[in-house]
Amino acid sequence: MQALRHFLLAVQFFTRIPISGKLGDWVGYSPEMLRASAGHFPGVGWIVGLVAAGVLAASSLLLPAGNGYSPLVAAVLSTLATVLLTGCFHEDGLSDVVDGLGGSHQRERALEIMKDSRIGAYGAMAMVLAILSKTALIALLASHSLALAMASLVAAHVIARLWPMFVVRSLPHVGDSATSKSKPLAAFISRQGLVCCLAWSLPAALLLGLTQGWVVLLLALVLSAAAALWMRQWLQRRLQGFTGDGLGAAEQVSEMGFYLGAALSLGPIGTLLAQALV
């Protein structure tokens, strides 16, 4: 029951799903509980991924069959559903990080820009390109196979919420501890929490690998991990640590990397890798 409370707290923190009334009272809140809920962040990805896959499937069935624009429209509606469900939580983090790190080479000034609620040119461009990239890649996967796109959506949203936990584990928190919502998460992420994250993530990975092939899973995992590692290195080099926005940015780039890896598996790279593994 305690694990269920931690999971529901993670859902409350990272989505717009209301956990209120008697249920909210039962779940409760404390910084220690929020820290413990970190192990269930990939579990939130299951909810978001299943909603995204469901909207994609429903849209594909209702839109005109054989029309070249139908996969694109379905991908747009699927992405819109995830943005509404999460409140643009991670996209906002990506925007703030790019605004801060793109707007100043000075560490303190970059952190100050990241806390500004206004969006700048760098942040706006990053958000637009992220949405376009995800939508285009999902449409590409859906045009090849609806099942592939649905499995990739679920796995991407789960795995993309796993990698930021390694950022928390390996870097110090450098945000404003008095106002940062991520500070309770940053104080300590236990090995048990990471194991819980992996327990949520493994079934999603197996779902993709068993249904769509191990080459798809391998390329998606490699590019997703590489994207998250790149974001971690950027945060370490520029800020000497991470902020809550940095975790959101890591989720976004790793999600895009996952879709890109799945898409590359359909081309010559996937063919060569499949031949090498035989």
Structural domains of the chain, count: 1
Integer Cα distance of 227 and 214 in angstroms: 20
Is there a contact between 217 and 209 (Cβ–Cβ < 8 Å)?
A: yes
Integer Cα distance of 57 and 138 in angstroms: 12
Rounded to two decimals, what is the model's pTM? Answer: 0.94
Q: Which residues contact 197 (CB under 8 A, 6 or more apart)?
A: 38, 39, 40, 41, 42, 161, 162, 165
Task: Extract the runs of DSSP E, i.e. beta strands, from the chain.
Answer: none
pLDDT at 216: 97
- The residue type found at 85 is L
Q: Is the pLDDT of residue 153 over 80?
A: yes
pLDDT tens digits, one per residue of 81-114:
999 999 998 999 999 999 999 988 899 999 999 9
Backbone angles phi, psi at 242, to 5 degrees: -125, 160
The helix/strand count (H/E) of the chain reads as 15, 0
> Stretch 217-226: mean pLDDT, rounded?
98
Is there a contact between 137 and 252 (Cβ–Cβ < 8 Å)?
A: no
Integer Cα distance of 184 and 188 in angstroms: 8
Residue 139: closest CA among 86, 69, 208, 193: 69
Tokens 């999902």 correspond to what residue? Answer: 138
Is there a contact between 91 and 130 (Cβ–Cβ < 8 Å)?
A: yes
Angle between helices 163-170 and 244-264 (to 10 degrees): 140
CA 208 to chain centre: 17
For residue 230, the enclosing domain spans 2-277
pLDDT tens digits, one per residue of 18-50:
988 888 889 887 777 888 888 899 999 999 999
Integer Cα distance of 168 and 197 in angstroms: 13
